[in-house]
């Protein structure tokens, strides 16, 4: 892939699309406070803290209000921002007053502004004021952008495809470094350092961190800890006979992918093998069920039917998958209560799994692209039992 960023032309098209949606709803312009929304529309990414960052958008101009420490960054030529106004810091300074002044410059009147939130989100100690204390606005933009992000453009797909290539490297290094007696957190640190160096040495100046995520995340849990799908315990030492459940998530151009595998340390018991085979079959059932026009719910229903037939339904703890892109979890979801039909351009982590108490978890995850006539699996690490024994 020649370029590892979303081009300016695509950001301008996103701006046009959200403005058209706002205009149809009777608004003259938009104000965004969400860091991901600002990134999606303009390309300007930043670390969200207690200091509000706001973006004002009309047909004619795009302006930003930022704390002083973001001024040079927000003024970069590649972001589609025409002017940047600063306040010094928070709580000193008056960021909402600066936003109100920006709205006045843009010609957005009270009551004709659509916003994604009533001021900056309450994070890192931010306690206000709200935007509504200085200007009248209607919350609603969040849904505009969330809907746009459900399907991906060709450029977005290529970034996720590139990330998926690096996921294969990350997982191979992870598997090579796992050995009994070691702690997952130690292995993770070594693998991520080696994988990041290889990525950056290969991609060179084309690679720029456009989020605060590590360019390569390689995590895993081991033993009965794997029975808790989102356990943060990476300090339990690896032992022979353990289940291991991994998650590898590279980030390229602000977009991520997901590759997960269930592995085993040493000899595999008959019980582990049986559960592994049920899990891998369930993932194949889910992938085979995905396609344009298929209901989201139908994919998980197919998995649920199979799990009930195999007697493992009681061990499930989550749905069969979710969309992925700028965030690791995005809408829509492969869930029995999701309404709607799958569309080309959506990408799903396909990860049906189950978790057996006192034994461990059983889950593979692959990133699957929905095409006009079917699917393409972007991640490609081996899925069979023999390849996944350490």
Q: Find the mean pLDDT for residues 192-210.
A: 95
**Nearest by Cα to 2 from 159, 157, 154, 196:** 159
Residue length of the chain: 390
**Nearest by Cα to 141 from 46, 233, 23, 44:** 23
Q: Which residue has the higher pLDDT, 202 or 230?
A: 202
How high is the pLDDT of residue 54?
Answer: 97
- Give the containing element (helix H, strand E) for 36: helix 35-42
The CA distance from 75 to 63, in Å, is 10
Percentage, residues of the chain above pLDDT 70: 99
Domain boundaries, the chain: 8-148, 151-387
- Tens digit of each residue's pLDDT (9 = 90 or more) over 113-131: 999 999 998 899 999 999 9
How high is the pLDDT of residue 140?
Answer: 81
Whether 163 shows a pLDDT value over 80: the answer reads yes
Global pTM exceeds 0.85: yes
Q: What is the mean pLDDT of the chain?
A: 95
Residue 83, classed as helix, strand or coil, is strand
Q: Find the mean pLDDT for residues 238-247.
A: 97
How high is the pLDDT of residue 347?
Answer: 98
- Tens digit of each residue's pLDDT (9 = 90 or more) over 328-382: 999 999 999 999 999 999 999 999 999 999 999 999 999 999 999 999 999 999 9
Q: Is the dihedral of CA 324, 377, 208, 217 positive or negative?
A: positive
CATH code for the domain defined by 8-148: 3.40.350.10
Q: In angstroms, how far apart are the furthest CA atoms of the chain?
A: 70
The CA distance from 126 to 120, in Å, is 8
Residue 346 CB-density burial (10 A; 0-12 exposed, 13-18 middle, 19+ buried): buried
The CA distance from 23 to 20, in Å, is 5
- Tens digit of each residue's pLDDT (9 = 90 or more) over 305-322: 999 999 999 999 999 999
In what order do the strands lie in the sheet containing 83-87?
83-87, 62-67, 54-57, 29-32, 113-115, 138-139
How high is the pLDDT of residue 1?
Answer: 60
Q: Domain 151-387 class? A: alpha beta
Q: Which residues contact 175 (CB under 8 A, 6 or more apart)?
A: 263, 388, 390
The CA distance from 207 to 195, in Å, is 14
- Tens digit of each residue's pLDDT (9 = 90 or more) over 45-71: 999 999 999 999 999 999 999 999 999
- Tens digit of each residue's pLDDT (9 = 90 or more) over 251-272: 999 999 999 999 999 999 999 9
């Amino acid at each position: 892939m020649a370029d590892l960023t979303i081009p300016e032309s695509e950001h301008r098209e996103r701006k046009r699309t959200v403005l058209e949606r706002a205009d149809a709803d009777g608004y003259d312009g938009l104000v965004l406070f969400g860091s991901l929304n600002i990134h999606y529309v303009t390309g300007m990414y930043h670390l969200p803290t207690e200091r509000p960052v706001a973006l004002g958008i009309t047909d004619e101009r795009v302006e930003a209000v930022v704390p002083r420490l973001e001024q040079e960054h927000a003024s970069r030529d590649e972001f589609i921002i025409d002017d940047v106004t600063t306040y010094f810091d928070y709580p000193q300074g008056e960021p909402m007053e600066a936003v109100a002044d920006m709205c006045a410059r843009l010609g957005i009147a009270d009551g004709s502004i659509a916003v994604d939130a009533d001021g900056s989100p309450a994070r890192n100690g931010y306690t206000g004021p709200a935007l509504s204390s200085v200007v009248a606005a209607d919350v609603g933009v969040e849904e505009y952008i969330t809907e746009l992000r459900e399907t991906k453009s060709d450029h977005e797909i290529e970034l996720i495809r590139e990330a998926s290539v690096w996921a294969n490297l990350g997982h191979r290094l992870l598997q090579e470094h796992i050995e009994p007696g070691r702690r997952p957190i130690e292995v993770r640190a070594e693998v991520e350092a080696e994988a990041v160096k290889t990525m950056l040495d290969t991609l060179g100046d084309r690679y720029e961190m456009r989020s605060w995520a590590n360019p390569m995340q390689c995590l895993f849990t081991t033993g009965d800890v794997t029975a808790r799908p989102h356990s943060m315990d990476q300090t339990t030492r690896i032992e022979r006979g353990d289940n291991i459940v991994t998650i590898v998530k590279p980030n390229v151009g602000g977009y991520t992918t997901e590759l997960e595998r269930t592995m085993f340390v040493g000899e595999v018991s008959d019980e582990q093998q049986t559960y592994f085979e049920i899990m891998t079959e369930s993932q194949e059932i889910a992938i085979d069920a995905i396609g344009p026009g298929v209901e989201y719910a139908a994919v998980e229903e197919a998995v649920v039917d199979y799990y009930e037939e195999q007697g493992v339904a009681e061990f499930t703890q989550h749905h069969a998958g979710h969309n992925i892109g700028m965030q690791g979890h995005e809408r829509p979801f492969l869930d029995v209560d999701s309404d709607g039909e799958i569309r080309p351009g959506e990408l799903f982590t396909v990860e049906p799994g189950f978790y057996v108490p006192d034994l461990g978890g059983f889950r593979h995850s692959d990133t699957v692209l929905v095409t006009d006539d079917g699917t393409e699996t972007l991640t490609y690490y081996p899925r069979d039992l023999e390849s996944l024994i350490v």
